[in-house]
Structure 1
Amino acid sequence: MVRKFTKLKVIPLGGLNEIGKNMTAIEYKDEIIVIDCGLSFPEDEMLGIDIVIPDITYLLKNRDKVKGIFLTHGHEDHIGALPYVLKKLNVPVYGTKLTIGLVEVKLKEHKLNNVKLNRVKPKDKIKLNFMEVEFIKTTHSIPDACSIAIHTEIGTIFHTGDFKVDYTPIDEDVMDFHRIAELGKKGVLLMLADSTNVERAGYAMSERTVGSSLDEIFRNAKRRIVVATFASNIHRVQQIINAAYKYNRKVAVSGRSMVNVVNVAKDLGYLTLPEDILIDLNEINDYSHDELVIITTGSQGEPMSALSRMASSEHKKMEIEKGDLVVISATPIPGNEKTVSKVINQLFEKGAEVIYDDLADIHVSGHACQEELKLMHRLVKPKYFMPVHGEYRHLKQHAELAVSLGMPKENIFTVTTGCVVEFDRNSARLGGYVPSGNILVDGLGVGDVGNIVLRDRKHLSEDGLMVVVVTIAKENGKVIAGPDIISRGFVYVRESEDLIEKAKVVVREALTECENKQIREWAYLKNTIKDELKNYLYERTKRNPMILPIIMEV
């Protein structure tokens, strides 16, 4: 009798055809584990939306199977959705010390204190009934990053997480090449690998190269230095602090996320701080400008970030002054180029000297370039391959890179979010789709804003609003007051009195006609007002504002 094996399923719930929102479910028998739980930031057309998180409908339907969320590292696009997901799906969370430290801060902000957080170390293995999850040390732009191997009787799945090959990391904690090669030798069924930098030839530079550039900048600086970088890039923050100490400067930290991360990293021992080097931002006026370094958020030009507020003179505690040196130690994420450029222009206008990525080697990527990806493929030697963590072009090019290394095309799965890929010992195939997509977070509302609301917001933002208020008599349907017209975002009423008066006439005539026909249904009256007014306004202005009739009956 042939023994029948259950299929091993891999279900990406985010992170494909997009940058961010990383989440992948692995299902075998009656167990599901989830790798990462990230957010992404809204696209331009998502008006008013704060963040975007993955759709976890499939996990909620199978909540009894979900055994835990396993985190590769502590970046927002891998942990940012946790507070929202854990409110609906309270399962254990596993991650390294720093990753869990950052998660704790997020959960505290959301007043979630009943989550089971489990700290693990690289080489640790978490044994479930049918799967074993192993954490393997990698290097990235944040300490404590790991790859994850999932061992099952069908085979091993290896998820690289975000990684780069850095032989000289700041914390001297090198990637565990030996264990990765060992897995490759034993045989890996499927590899899921980071595709972010697949378009870049060669290797990503070591984080240490930034240190020498910062040293030179600090040595030549005569006045106050402001350095903007990603809050989570603790190695960069460490190098900024080292340079400040070397040149006898005090360091102040600005921006909520930067303050949170620095405090967590300091408490957990990931930042080495010389005695008394950190000062509060309120104390900067007690020191001369040549004694200060400010580390701040805002390297992506985010409108509410500390650097943007400094650039627009809206920061409560600090003003950019002529002669200040501002170093933007980051590369704009695709889509953020305009906002970063705007901030740089504002800083120059204030008389600051600005150093950014185009002018100096002050940033290196945390993601593997082509040669590092080739090394990972050669070490792991997977039977099947699924590129993840990238837009479609990244996934496509990563698939082509795998083919160039000799992998058969039919063994590569370039799939979309929600697509189920099923494996057994000898074969793999696509196995349908599960519910997936974007859940939009707006203020305290999670998922209550959908396409219809976004369409209305877009309409309002482009064409404005016109409200028509009419009062009619209950007994005979005659108009006894109005129509009154209120305009917002369409025309300025005081400068368009003629247009508004004629619009009132159009509404009045439409209502008189309904009155003569003895039509009193509100829906019909509202539609008539809308249609007549829409035609008139388009004829006069070639614009289509949203028209909102309000009928009151007395």
Structure 2
Amino acid sequence: MENKQPNSSNKPKKYYKKKKPTNNKPVNEPNNEVVTDVSSEPKKVVKYKPRKELGRKPVVKEQNVKVYSLGGLGVVGMNMYVVEVDDEIIVIDAGVLFADDDVHGVNYIIPDFTHLVENESRIAGLFITHGHEDHIGGLPFLLQKVKIPTIYAAGIAVPLIQNKLAEFPDIEYNLKEFTSDDVIEYKNTSVSFFRTNHSIPDSYGMAIKTKYGYVVNSGDFKFDFSPLGHMSDFHKMTRLGEEGVVCLLSESTNANIDEFSSSERKIAETLDSLFHQIEGRIIVATFASNVYRVQQIIASSIECGRKVIVFGHSMEKTIEAAIKLNYIEAPKGWILRARELKKIETEHVTILCTGSQGEPLAALSRIAAGTHKQIKLLPDDTIIYSSKPIPGNEQFINRNINKLVHAGAHVIKNNPLTDTHTTGHASQNELRMMLSFMKPKYFVPVHGEYFMLRKHVKIALGLGLKKENCFVLAPGDVLNINNNGATVIKDAVKASDVYLDGSLSDVDSNVLKERRKMADEGLVSATFFINKKKEIINKPIVTLNGFSTPDKADELILMLSNKCVEIYNNLNKDNSNISFSALERQIANQMYQFIYNKMDRKPLIVVSIKKIR
């Protein structure tokens, strides 16, 4: 019998019986009807199950994201922000704050780095938004305490950081340059960048990727639609918003200013006009780090046939760095050193100097005081302030202006008529634009005093953000973001101010209190000389500092000296075994009470007992 292969065409066909549409459903849409097999053998009836019933969704591991500041909240300066993604720490900026005059003997204020010291092994990298001192000035002090794997900076910030760290030869560091297209990858996160406009080139915002969306730090920014440098990267900003921003940290410096900030090009036109009108020598004071402004001043000077003489160490260093990167351009021989000032006629020179904020040792302050070795004011000099007073500096600036005018100089300040300065910070409408681009779920205003931060929150609320999703934090407060939402843990991280004096050493807070007390109430010191029997030899030497007018000093010294002897004898009689240190403290306490009761003053009192052998 012939063995034949079965003909496949004779096999029974399986097919799905098409049903007529029911309940207005399309014919091809899956439904829960029975699927019938019409082959010869009976088949199991299978009920169709929707996908969601087939099994659970895969569980996504929770990610812990923490956002906090070690500096930059409640002040304009000392910026340092931290984003933690699980066990990795991303640090943004390491700035310094210049101390006010009421913090006696203190030059700089920096954040307390204790938290970073204790968590050094978790630090993934440090990212610099731009090259201003309030963002890079704390780097040397940070690197003396904490080992940072890599510091990332862009453009002109790189040589500015290198110049700064060159003054600290013992510091080892790893500095890499990033561009706007770079993405720095880590185990739990990545960091990308977007360009912004500011008063210094190569300013950037940062986007840290998390499972909940991006944590974005805006950096310092404004929206200049005709900038001298690159345009802001609007495309990247809007794309971040579309992909999802879980938290936005946005600067708040100009949150109280409603008008749109002027373009740098408008300032260039103003300077050109002024330079063509002014006869005689021009002295311009501006921020050394305002590279675009420095370029405008140089360009206006060259157009009018004026050589530019640069005064100020920071100004010289910034110009050198900017020339190398082609941000400042000038024909050879037009930017000169200070020593060449004498060789040029006054009507053919522009002096470019530091001191726009009234800093005591800056070039303009010394010119105003008549103590500058190379520059003496002339009757036809014109001084242009191409800057805006930083809050708290008005008194020092006005003091210099009065001296300059008294010496016969003509002073031009920024005002609505002259327009010699524009801000590098976003006003209210620009802040609204940033919020609209990013569309954050949570919002943390940064980089400003508290009235600025709260005003920024009002702006955000006006755009529809929920009040419970806006957080005005203090340094050390932690915003914790996870699957359950966002919560604030108060004072979770150690964050305080560290004061540095002229020697760049820490100044203890108790020392500061004593200095304030001396400045406000004066100092009284009393020195006792005693023999072996603890008897006083002659009367104590009492000195007064900032405590009495000269005509009454002798009378007051005699009274206090007699009182010191009386207190000493009483204490020594009651307890002959008392130690010198305890005796000094008790004399100081009783002298303090005596002076307060007698004169209603609270001076700092220093008592010293010396034994003569």
TM-score by length of structure 2 reads: 0.86
1:421–1:219 distance in 2 versus 1, CA, 3 Å: same
Residue identity matched to 1:441 = L
| Stretches of structure 2 lacking an aligned partner (at least 5 in a row) | 1-57
- Match of 1:506? 563
Q: Deviations over 1:433-477 (max 9, x none)?
A: 210011111133543x23211111111112322222222222x32
Provide the C-alpha distance between the structure 2 equivalents of 1:178 and 1:127, rounded to a whole number of angstroms: 22
Provide the C-alpha distance between the structure 2 equivalents of 1:243 and 1:46, rounded to a whole number of angstroms: 39
Q: Secondary structure at the match of 1:223?
A: coil
- Match of 1:547? 605
Matched, 1:378 2:436: yes
- Match of 1:443? 502
Q: Deviations over 1:490-532 (max 9, x none)?
A: 3367863233223222222333334544634124532453355
- Match of 2:357? 300
Is contact 1:514-1:520 (8 Å) kept?
A: no
Provide the C-alpha distance between the structure 2 equivalents of 1:401 and 1:146, rounded to a whole number of angstroms: 23
- Match of 1:328? 385
* Identical pairs, percent: 37
Matched, 1:496 2:553: yes
Q: Deviations over 1:119-138 (max 9, x none)?
A: 11112111111111112111
Provide the C-alpha distance between the structure 2 equivalents of 1:32 and 1:22, rounded to a whole number of angstroms: 16
Matched, 1:56 2:99: no
- Match of 1:486? 543
Matched, 1:46 2:103: yes
> Greater CA deviation, 37-46 or 94-103?
37-46
Matched, 1:401 2:459: yes
Q: Deviations over 1:2-22 (max 9, x none)?
A: 333131111111111111111
- Match of 1:30? 87
> Greater CA deviation, 242-251 or 483-492?
483-492
Provide the C-alpha distance between the structure 2 equivalents of 1:527 and 1:194, rounded to a whole number of angstroms: 49
Q: How far is the alpha carbon of 1:478 from its aligned partner?
A: 2.0
Selected match of 1:526 from 584, 587, 612: 584
- Match of 2:332? 275
Provide the C-alpha distance between the structure 2 equivalents of 1:413 and 1:506, rounded to a whole number of angstroms: 57
Is contact 1:227-1:295 (8 Å) kept?
A: yes
- Match of 1:367? 425
Higher Rg of the two aligned structures: 2
Paired residues, number? 551
Q: Secondary structure at the match of 1:20?
A: coil
Q: Deviations over 1:412-453 (max 9, x none)?
A: 122111111111256212234210011111133543x23211
Provide the C-alpha distance between the structure 1 equivalents of 2:345 and 2:125, rounded to a whole number of angstroms: 51
Q: How far is the alpha carbon of 1:383 from its aligned partner?
A: 1.6
Q: Secondary structure at the match of 1:105?
A: helix
Is contact 1:123-1:137 (8 Å) kept?
A: no
Provide the C-alpha distance between the structure 2 equivalents of 1:426 and 1:497, rounded to a whole number of angstroms: 72
Residue identity matched to 1:181 = T
1:24–1:534 distance in 2 versus 1, CA, 3 Å: closer
Selected match of 1:344 from 382, 391, 401: 401
Provide the C-alpha distance between the structure 1 equivalents of 2:236 and 2:571, rounded to a whole number of angstroms: 80
Q: How far is the alpha carbon of 1:274 from its aligned partner?
A: 2.1
1:415–1:535 distance in 2 versus 1, CA, 3 Å: closer
Selected match of 1:202 from 231, 236, 259: 259
Q: Deviations over 1:300-358 (max 9, x none)?
A: 11111110000001111111211101000111111111111111111101111100013
1:528–1:85 distance in 2 versus 1, CA, 3 Å: closer
Q: How does 1:131-210 map to 2 (within 5 A)?
A: 131-171=189-229, 173-210=230-267
Provide the C-alpha distance between the structure 1 equivalents of 2:379 and 2:610, rounded to a whole number of angstroms: 59
Q: How does 1:394-433 map to 2 (within 5 A)?
A: 394-425=452-483, 427-432=485-490, 433=492
Q: Deviations over 1:14-46 (max 9, x none)?
A: 111111111111111221010111111223432
Residue identity matched to 1:350 = A
- Match of 2:158? 100
Q: How does 1:193-272 map to 2 (within 5 A)?
A: 193-272=250-329
Q: Secondary structure at the match of 1:64?
A: helix
Provide the C-alpha distance between the structure 1 equivalents of 2:112 and 2:573, rounded to a whole number of angstroms: 53
Is contact 1:493-1:500 (8 Å) kept?
A: no
Q: Give RMSD over aligned pairs.
A: 1.8
1:134–1:293 distance in 2 versus 1, CA, 3 Å: same
Q: How far is the alpha carbon of 1:176 from its aligned partner?
A: 0.8
> Greater CA deviation, 527-536 or 357-366?
527-536
Matched, 1:80 2:166: no
Provide the C-alpha distance between the structure 2 equivalents of 1:316 and 1:419, rounded to a whole number of angstroms: 49
Q: Secondary structure at the match of 1:496?
A: helix
1:508–1:256 distance in 2 versus 1, CA, 3 Å: same
Q: RCO greater where, 1 or 2, for CA within 8 Å and sep 6 or more?
A: 1
> Greater CA deviation, 519-528 or 269-278?
519-528
Residue identity matched to 2:503 = L
Is contact 1:72-1:148 (8 Å) kept?
A: yes
| Stretches of structure 1 lacking an aligned partner (at least 5 in a row) | none
Q: Secondary structure at the match of 2:444?
A: strand
Q: How far is the alpha carbon of 1:542 from its aligned partner?
A: 3.8
